[in-house]
Amino acid sequence: MPKSKFASTMKNRVKLENDIKQKFPVNQLWDWQSKQTHRPVFVLHDGPPYANGPLHLGHFLNKIQKDIIVRYKLLAGHRIDFRLGWDCHGLPIELKALQKNKTKSTSEDPLTIRRLARQFASETLEKQKAELQSWGILADWSNCYKTFDKGYIIDQIKLFWILYQKGLLYRQYKPVNWSPTVQSALAESELEYNNKHQSTAIYVRFRLKNDDSLSRLLPQTSLENVYALIWTTTPWSLVGNQAVAVNENFKYLFVTFPSTNDTYIIAEPLLSNIKQYPPFSNEQFEIIGDCLGSQLTKVKYYHPIYQDQVTTYPIVISDHVTSELGTGLVHIAPAHGADDFLLSIKHNLQCVNAVNLTGHLHCPTIESLHNRNALDPNDGIQSILKHLNSNVLHHYQLTHSYPYDWREKKPVLILGSQQWFIDTTRLRDRACNVISDEVKIYPEGGGKSFLSMTARRPYWCISRQRCWGVPIPVFYSKDEKNELVVNEDIIEHLIKCVQEKGSIDFWWSADDIKDLLPKSMHDQAENLVRANDIFDVWFDSGSSFYSLLKDFNYQADLYCEGHDQFNGWFLSSLLLSTGFQSRAPFSNIFVHGFVVDKNNQKMSKSIGNVIEPSHMIYGGGKERFLENGFDVCREWVTRESYKQQCKASAEDLGKAYKRVYEIRNVLKFLLGNLYDYQVDKHSVAVENLTAVDQYMAYRLHQVLTTFHNDFDRYRMYHGLITAETFIQTDVSSFYCSVTKDRLYCNPPDSHLRRSTQTVFHLLLKCLNERLAPVMPYLAQELHNELSVLNHKEKKINDIFENEFTFLERAFTDISSELASTMVIVFHLRDTFHKMLQNRRAILCDIVLYLSDKAKVQLKQVIDVLGRHPSTVEMKIWQPLEELLQCSRVQQRSLSDLETDLTEENISSVDLPLIVLISVVRYKQRGHIPDQLVEHHRQSPLGKAKAGAAVGVSPPKDDKTPNLRTTPHDFKYVYPDFLPNPIPYLRDRILEKLERKDMFRRRQQIEIPEFYVGSVLGVTSADPYAPNRRNRFVGICIQRERHGLKHQFTLRNIVDGVGVEIIYELYNPTITKIEVLKLERRLDENLAYLRDAPPEYCTFPFDMEPVKLPPGSGVPLNTIQVPITSTHWQYKWERHDLKGVLLPKLPRSVGKASERYSQPWRQWDIMRQYRTEIHDDDRAEIFEDIEKHKQDLAQYRIDSKENVKITRTRQKAAGRKAILDDAPKANRPSSSTSQ
């Protein structure tokens, strides 16, 4: 029996894992691997997280995923370079530091703010570092990088100077995203869009100047009240208006209102949109003229805010004017829009900021508007509406998407200011080529989104108006020109100062600007002023490649972060590296998903669904996690990380726990059977292994090949699933099962036993090493036991100080003949096990009835299995008996079949392989299951008589399962037995009682097998129908409800009208259910036939049954039904339907479908539960069904016997009555009768 100290229990996992950490610390392993200079280097560059708070589950998933990759590469023979880093600058840290000290940024000088921010970042960083070390991350902990280190700052300044010299950096006045809350510019990546934002939309009129250019367009018309009608959702920006834009190709109408004599210019395509608003909706108007947009360019108008009637403004042409929204005339505020700004350059327009840096209106000449909050509908917006007065024709609240500051969750403005930019127009094309040609992105498919983001990237604003960061090292002249001053001497002087003083705080602390300039420029100091801007944090983190990858030619082997970094760190690093060296800083990218809760919601403190990593590891929290330990959590990370949404819940961790537990028990079994095995003494050569042992070595080679292919392509999840499936099915269910007799019953030194132990050792060592990157503590624990087993005198080393063990070439050269033979054996084994009906295989004999051709095939199988030298100890059938785990295998001729079938203790089941009939002789109490007897009598073989053909041809290979012989798919055959999907509505006692009633009903009426998509004929009792019977024929379009209340719906077209009847399956008024055509459809609900052409659900009432070939499965009808173009009853486009052909949807309908789609349905736990019943429930229900099938078969047999007995008795009684009535003379004498 197996002997091992390796525990099967998973209790106290955390304590055991901590003990292993202390015995084999990661620092010691890192020092060892760093000395392996002969190995090739694998560089994993860590993206720096913010040092602004505690670590969350997203950090855990990211760092564990990186650790798995690092440990795999270490075992694969690499030396690792992996340095963790932290992003220590930026607004989040600055605000947290000020909040902690209960101060405001406006009340503190820059040096105080920097001191507080540095202190906060340092404290947070150390806390995060301690927690990361407790996770057992293998990294260079002595050389972590921080963006506020002097060396990092120096490298950042150097990179700035290189890019500036190449002309890739410039300073310009441009409208940028501005956060009034933090008073700083924001990059596009720092925005999030709120789809529920409400803006005040207004229709406002601009009075046109009465001059010759207007009179030529409207001759013989009063020109006093002619207006350009404007629609805008930013009324505050009207303060900065400098022009009106039109589309030169649009036709514009002059619409006049006789009641007021007011005339408005409106684009013709948009007139219909405006009719719903006053005054167009409640007053009569006339169209008095029209013109093209190009004819309006000489017309002038007066400013709507500054109504001085003196200064006029132009109407200009622009392509960004569209006919989708508004009036076809767009007001232009160059300081508050990118397109507006470009127009201002083209037409020499002024840039006037309507608001200041705090988001308040800036118009000193109008006291009622000045310093009002521009975004407050009750302050600035209301003041503007009041000031415009009658010029506002209509206003309303519009809900739409609007940019918000992703940190502060407050709306932003577009504001014109002098900022520093990276010239992305010069970098985009090269960066896109790099992504396409030089970078591999995993999982596959992510490259397309990264490419599109890079191609669409607008200019990148890298300057911020804060003080906690690296200053942009430039100066400006004090005169009106404000010229830029920067050169190599300035850069070298600043770098020298940073090296000497250890930080760049002197940029703010220097009282004399001469201290910031080289001596050669001291004479210019009086005319210069230092820049007050700092670098964007994405520039900080994006330059990490320049600082950390110098020794590796500025390129890492892998960047690994969440998919949100496509528009963040990945893109900033790519653009900076492309500008520096015209290539990417990475050769591979692995992208993982976001962690969500059990309801697929993003984790948020406001929702209260945040899961702390410690709860998942050590247990506790709202989810009530068990003590899972690190191996279980790492297994969960590996399986979930590749998904877009990584679901974290107690249920998911419970599944991971179960998988690890099962793997542990299989490995324990392998180890326990090696207690007396030593590799150097007892190993068996490949050519001397038994067939099954050789086959397992061959399968191990296949699995290892797949595993390494997956891990090398960063498909860790697939590699792990391959290994786990192999352990649970091939090793545990098959190999361990068929070799138990050898291990337990054969002599210790027998060849068969040593052959199996040789493969056990290979399996244990190879699989343990492959599981090690994912489950390092389990692997180390097992490695310790193996080391003690084989090398009792040697010191046990860390498992990661070894390299992967690969099989000898002899193991991989196993003949394909053996592999193909094992496929036949497995098919025979599976079929045999299906016939067992929950009885022990070892108590069963197998009798194989073979044709002459089949005998030849079976002989080939036996020859291959018996060809190996080790099988000399076996009888001819012993290899097959061992593989099938049966008592005995016998071979008979096909001609003996008819005779044997008459024996009372024999039953038969059809097989489609080389064995036409397989007969199972049950030794257990001589009992033959009634359902097998009935199955035989109803089968084509059981009905065969003299002269009839015995057996049928094997059915063609069909990918659809034969649901009638597949126990696990009984949910399709018996959907009425499924329990209620809502757990708290379930009553297990009631379900049990209902099943009994359902079985009794099935004894009274034969309820056939049918599916959604089958054509049925149902006869029911109807007192008002002729003969008191009513028969309806139709296609089954739905099956719903549970238990005795289960019902199905039939649909047919009668006299051109769709008729549907809902039947309760167990209603006693139903007298007969006929299956006229047995088939399934692609969908489990065919309600869409109501909106399909009638020919798809029209069936004749005298339809004859369609017969299926014997032994065939349930046909799957793959027809796709077209839906009519009229508006259908349900939004079929929102459902995941496979059997529907939808017409091409209008764009508006498609967008609405996306908006109201329900992607969460695929993760709906209850929806999954309706189709995947719990194993315990499934076993209980299926056991009841199988017992019912036995009882039903016996009931029918007894009924037939009773009928025969009754008829015999009736005949006997009839003869007796005849004799009684006959005259005594005619009766036979007693002697004669005797």
User: For residues 416 and 251, is the Cβ–Cβ distance under 8 A?
Assistant: no
Amino acid at 225: N
Of the candidates 587, 484, 472, 584, the one whose C-alpha atom is nearest the C-alpha of residue 532 is 472
CA 959, distance to chain mean position in Å, is 26
Closest CA to 268 of 348, 328, 192, 317: 328
Residue 1130: give its domain's CATH number. 2.30.30.790
| Region of residue 167 (phi > 0: left; psi between -120 and 50: alpha; otherwise: beta) | left
Domain region containing 882: 836-954
CATH code for position 387: 3.90.740.10
Dihedral sign from CA coordinates of 45, 50, 54, 60? negative
Our count of domains for the chain comes to: 5
Instruction: Tell me the backbone φ, ψ of residue 829, rounded to 5 degrees.
Output: -65, -45
State the DSSP string of 994-1032: HHHHHHHHHHHS------TT-EEEEEEE-TTSGGGEEEE
Q: Is 114 contained in some domain?
A: no
Q: Is 186 helix (H, G, I), strand (E, B) or coil?
A: strand
Residue after which a domain boundary falls, among 814, 844, 877: 814
- What is the CA angle 1033-1046-1162, rounded to 5? 105
**Distance in angstroms (rounded) separating the CA atoms of residues 138 and 216:** 80
Domain boundary among 905, 931, 954: 954
Residues in CB range of 466: below 8 A, 6 or more apart: 91, 94, 105, 182, 184, 534
113 domain residue, yes or no: no
What angle separates helix 751-771 from helix 716-725, to the nearest 10 degrees? 160
Q: Are residues 273 and 345 in the same domain?
A: yes
Instruction: Note the pLDDT tens digit of each residue in 243-272.
Output: 999 999 999 999 998 888 889 999 998 988
pTM above 0.75, yes or no: no
Tell me, yes or no, whether 1167 lies in a domain.
no
C-alpha–C-alpha distance, residues 603 and 610, integer Å: 5
Whether 765 and 914 share a structural domain:
no
760 and 844 housed in the same domain: no
Residue 1067 belongs to what H/E stretch?
Answer: none
If asked whether residues 772 and 888 sit together in one domain, one would say no
Residues comprising the chain, all counted: 1234
Q: Is residue 544 part of a domain?
A: no
Same domain, 908 and 992: no
Residues 1063, 1194, single domain; the answer is no
> Do both 376 and 291 map to the same domain?
yes
Q: Is residue 118 part of a domain?
A: no
Burial class (CB in 10 A: 0-12, 13-18, 19+), 131: middle
**How confident is the model over 428-453, as a mean pLDDT?**
89
Domain end residue (candidates: 375, 409, 443): 409
Would you say residue 731 has pLDDT above 90? yes
Measured between its terminal Cα atoms, the distance across the chain in Å is 72
Task: Count the neighbouring beta carbons within 10 Å of the beta carbon of residue 1199.
Answer: 11
Would you place residue 1177 in the very low, low, confident or very high pLDDT band (cuts 50, 70, 90)? low
pLDDT band of residue 838 (cuts 50, 70, 90) is low
Least confident of 209-223, 673-687, 1010-1024, 1172-1186: 1172-1186
**Is 1125 a residue whose pLDDT tops 70?**
no
Report pLDDT digits (tens) over 41-89. 999 999 988 898 899 999 999 999 999 999 999 999 999 999 999 999 9
Residues 6+ apart with CB under 8 A from 441: 435, 447, 450, 588, 589, 591
pLDDT digits (tens, 9 = 90+) for 1068-1110: 999 999 999 999 998 888 988 988 888 889 999 989 998 887 7
Asked whether residue 447 is domain-assigned, the answer is no
Q: What is the pLDDT of residue 925?
A: 31
Q: Are residues 335 and 362 in the same domain?
A: yes
Within this chain, do residues 794 and 916 fall inside the same structural domain, yes or no?
no
- For β-strands 1029-1040 and 1047-1054, DSSP reports them as antiparallel
CA distances from 472 to 167, 441, 485 (A): 16, 33, 12
* 3-state class (DSSP) for residue 225: coil
Per-residue pLDDT of 476-490, as tens digits, reads 999 888 899 999 999
Burial profile 856-892: b = 16 or more Cβ within 10 angstroms, e = fewer: eebeebbebbbebebbeebeebebbbbbbbbeebebe
Q: What percent of the chain clears pLDDT 90, i.e. is strictly above it?
A: 44
Q: Are residues 1034 and 1134 in the same domain?
A: yes
DSSP H/E element including 824: helix 816-835
pLDDT of residue 617: 93
Q: How far apart are CA 373 and CA 370, in angstroms?
A: 9
292 against 1177, higher pLDDT: 292
The tokens of 486 are what? 């920067």
CA distance 675 to 698: 24
Instruction: Give pLDDT, residue 174.
Output: 87
User: Angle 1007-1012-1014 (CA atoms, 0-180°, nearest 5)?
Assistant: 70
Write a three-state SS string for 284-302: CCEEEEEEEHHHHCCCEEE
| Phi, psi for residue 1103 in degrees, rounded to 5 | -65, 135
CATH number of residue 23's parent domain: 1.10.730.20
> What's the token pair of residue 596?
């969500």
Instruction: Provide the pLDDT confidence category of residue 894 given band limits of 50, 70 and 90.
Output: low
The answer to whether residues 25 and 1 belong to one domain is yes
Is residue 4 within 8 Å of residue 675, measured between CB atoms? yes
Helix locations, 619-690, DSSP H = 629-640, 650-672, 679-682
Average pLDDT, the chain: 82
Q: Does residue 422 lie in a domain region?
A: no
Which region, left, alpha or beta, applies to residue 394 given φ > 0 means left and ψ of -120 to 50 means alpha? beta
The mean pLDDT value for 25-38 works out to 95
Cis check for the bond before 279: say yes or no (omega within 30 of 0): yes
Q: Give the pLDDT confidence score for residue 1196 in this predicted structure.
A: 63
How far apart are alpha carbons 865 and 823 in whole angstroms? 12
Q: Which of 47-61, 145-159, 848-862, 963-977 has the highest mean pLDDT?
A: 145-159
Are 1144 and 1195 members of one domain?
no
Taking the CA atoms of 937, 943, 949 and 955 in sequence, report the sign of the dihedral they define: negative
Asked, for residue 233, whether it belongs to a domain, the answer is yes
How confident is the model at residue 497, as a pLDDT? 95
* pLDDT tens string 944-973: 322 222 222 333 344 444 443 434 444 445
pLDDT tens for 411-438 read 999 998 888 999 998 999 999 999 999 9
pLDDT given for residue 923 in this prediction: 34
